[in-house]
């Protein structure tokens, strides 16, 4: 078949070159959006008299037919279909003949592809926003269910201070909230209509770009036709958004992998979200969490790869820009799998309270002793050193802080022996952190209330 642009060519495209050039293998998912944008475009052409009402009706009927073929997957992609736009136009011609050739009046695939892409992005963004909210909801529910349970909080993966497990769950809620805020921002920024910009210079026919934009659900037309066809900020921002979400999820995934080891045993991962070993019958492997961790790497790769494509590109459309779609679509696909899997894991994992409390050894309360000494008037630096020395002695003697003699404690401060048990109580240590944002039960309950509100109002 001859190409839609075949007029000035006297020989066929080389087969391999055509394969390299074609995007149909990965842009077909734009088909429903292409049809929708084409239908509105046809309306505008009819409005200014470039289509007779007869031709307009034929085009709309043809597009409806194509739309149902797309939906029921009976649309036949032909080997010569270069991309989604040419495939649909080719089919329209098969269905209605000559009037199909009028649809492309005043538009170019350059403004067409960006319009389709933004329409898709709006829908994809909605799907991810819901999936993110589900993960956040699961984190809040966990925080509520697990209220009262303490775990050792870690820094450098070394036991640091006791915290409420709920506080820790919520520490993974807030990053996802910022991700949703960022998503809303990027979708808002991307909600300007490129259609009507044509190849680069703008449309020579008096179509109403404002009405066109509004009909397609955009806030307004893009104000500069060159920018409209050459910007891929929406794709880059989406990839950044996805990278940050993946990074956030990878940190949660890594923690759950560690927490589910026999060594930690804080949580047991549900069977539905683990795999077995082909050789070791006892194994239950956290593959899904590992893949979540890994996808952060490959997603960041897509972001940096695509930014490198954009860097130094000559003005307006270049075929390089076609690379936005494999990067964005594969990122969307993996994220839309990861998010519900993470929700499922959060909802069904089992927390092991006895393992949690076993991790709360008295050394985690060393800071409490130093803080007590501060209240007795000892400068914090000095208090820190005195307690540090005490901890070192305990380690050398193989005893815990609870086993230090009253005599030794009194050398640090006369009131210390009488206070030690209270100071080394992890519950009291947790409840002492009742400041806004701290780990006390009151503070965590405040976070839960706030988090629930944020699920619905973003800020």
Interior angle at CA 123, CA 118 and CA 128, nearest 5: 115
In the residue annotation, 85 being an active-site residue is answered as no
Nearer to ligand ARG, 311 or 319 (CB): 319
CB of 92 to ligand ARG, least distance (A): 17
Rounded Cα distance between 87 and 77, Å, is 7
Rounded Cα distance between 88 and 34, Å, is 8
Residue ranges in contact with ligand ARG by CB under 6 A: 23, 27, 83, 109-110, 113, 317, 319, 321-322, 325
CB of 110 to ligand ARG, least distance (A): 5
Q: Mark out the alpha helices in 352-412 (DSSP H runs).
A: 353-358, 366-375, 380-397, 406-412
CB of 113 to ligand ARG, least distance (A): 4
Helix or strand or coil: residue 223? coil
For residue 160 the two structure tokens come to: 């640091």
Q: Looking up tokens 């066809």, which residue turns up?
A: 229
**373 in Cβ contact with 387 (< 8 Å):** yes
Q: Of 128, 25, 11, 165, which Cα lies nearest the Cα of 81?
A: 25
Nearer to ligand ARG, 318 or 393 (CB): 318
Nearer to ligand ARG, 85 or 295 (CB): 85
Nearer to ligand ARG, 78 or 283 (CB): 78
Of 74, 156, 354, 456, the catalytic one is 156
Of 52, 68, 277, 315, the catalytic one is 277
In the residue annotation, 172 being an active-site residue is answered as no
Q: Which residues of 416-455 are buried (b: 16+ CB within 10 A; e: fewer)?
A: bbebbeebbebeebbbebeeeebbbbebbeebbeebeebe
CB of 322 to ligand ARG, least distance (A): 4
Nearer to ligand ARG, 23 or 260 (CB): 23
Nearer to ligand ARG, 23 or 231 (CB): 23
Q: Which residues of 351-367 are buried (b: 16+ CB within 10 A; e: fewer)?
A: bbeebbeebbebebbbe
CB of 103 to ligand ARG, least distance (A): 16
CB of 337 to ligand ARG, least distance (A): 24
Residues in the chain: 459
284 CB-contact burial (10 Å; exposed 0-12 / middle 13-18 / buried 19+) = middle
Q: Looking up tokens 């199909």, which residue turns up?
A: 100
Catalytic residue ranges: 156, 277
């Amino acid at each position: 078949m001859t190409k839609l642009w075949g007029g000035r060519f006297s020989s066929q495209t080389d087969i391999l070159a055509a394969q390299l050039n074609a995007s149909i293998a990965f842009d077909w998912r734009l088909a429903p959006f292409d049809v929708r944008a084409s239908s509105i475009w046809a309306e505008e052409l009819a409005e200014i008299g470039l289509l007779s009402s007869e031709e307009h009706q034929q085009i709309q009927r043809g597009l409806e037919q194509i739309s149902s073929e797309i939906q029921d997957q009976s649309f036949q992609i032909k080997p010569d279909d270069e991309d989604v736009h040419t495939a649909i136009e080719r089919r329209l011609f098969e269905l209605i003949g000559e009037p199909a050739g009028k649809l492309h009046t005043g538009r170019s695939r350059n403004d067409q592809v960006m319009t389709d892409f933004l329409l898709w992005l709006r829908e994809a963004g909605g799907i991810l926003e819901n999936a993110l909210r589900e993960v956040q909801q699961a984190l809040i529910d966990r925080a509520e269910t697990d209220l009262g349970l303490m775990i050792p909080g870690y820094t450098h993966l070394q036991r640091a201070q006791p915290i409420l497990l709920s506080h820790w769950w919520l520490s993974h809620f807030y990053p996802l909230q910022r991700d949703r805020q960022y998503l809303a921002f990027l979708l808002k920024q991307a909600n300007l209509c490129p259609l009507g910009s044509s190849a680069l210079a703008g449309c020579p026919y008096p179509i109403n770009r404002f009405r066109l934009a509004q009909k397609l659900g955009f806030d307004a037309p893009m104000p500069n036709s060159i920018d409209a066809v050459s910007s891929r900020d929406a794709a880059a921002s989406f990839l950044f958004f996805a990278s940050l979400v993946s990074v956030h999820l990878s940190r949660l995934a890594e923690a759950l992998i560690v927490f589910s080891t026999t060594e930690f045993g804080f949580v047991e991962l549900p069977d539905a979200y683990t795999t077995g070993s082909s050789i070791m019958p006892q194994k239950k492997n956290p593959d899904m969490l590992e893949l979540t961790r890994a996808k952060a790497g490959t997603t960041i790769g897509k972001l940096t790869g695509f930014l490198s494509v954009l860097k130094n590109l000559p003005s307006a459309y270049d075929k390089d820009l076609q690379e936005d779609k494999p990067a964005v679509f594969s990122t969307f696909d993996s994220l839309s799998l990861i998010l519900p899997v993470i929700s499922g894991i959060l909802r069904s994992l089992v927390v092991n309270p006895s393992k949690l409390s076993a991790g709360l050894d008295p050394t985690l309360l060393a800071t409490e002793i130093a803080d007590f000494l501060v209240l007795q008037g000892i400068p914090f630096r000095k208090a820190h050193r005195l307690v540090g020395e005490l901890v070192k002695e305990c380690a050398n003697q193989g005893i815990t802080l609870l086993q230090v003699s009253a005599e030794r404690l009194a050398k640090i401060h006369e009131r210390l022996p009488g206070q030690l048990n209270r100071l080394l109580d992890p519950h009291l240590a947790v409840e002492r952190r009742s400041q806004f944002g701290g780990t006390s039960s009151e503070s965590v309950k405040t976070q839960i209330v706030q988090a629930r509100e944020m699920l619905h109002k973003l800020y």
